[in-house]
Structure 1
């Protein structure tokens, strides 16, 4: 339980950093999306009803969030190389 609370705390802090335009939040969030991706593939491969549906939902969300974190606009906002216009 303490481990899961620690993971949740890291994700909350990372999301707050991303919302403030800091690049330090990208790493933990991308790592979490990779874990979600692996877990969703395992759930899809389990072959049982609701677990497969949940796996597909988690897979789509993980790919969506991971892809959005890599868009040029997000990278520009959360990095020092973004242009100041």
Structure 2
């Protein structure tokens, strides 16, 4: 009767594997959907960052020019 018990256990385990495989596939589909949504959000954020950098670049350029000018003027006084 050990063979019959082993066969019963084997079929039970196979059924569990099939059930768990189906659950895993369902979870994988959910994760794929969430990943696509996250990628869309990331692309939106990257686009907003690019827009902000484009808008801020002229200001940053002027700030850099003023900083360079001030440093040059300060260097004149330190040299004396």
TM-score under structure 2 length normalisation: 0.36
Q: Bigger radius of gyration, 1 or 2? A: 2
Q: Which has the higher contact order (CA 8 A, sep 6+)?
A: 1
Instruction: Compare the two structures and name the one with the higher helix fraction.
Output: 2
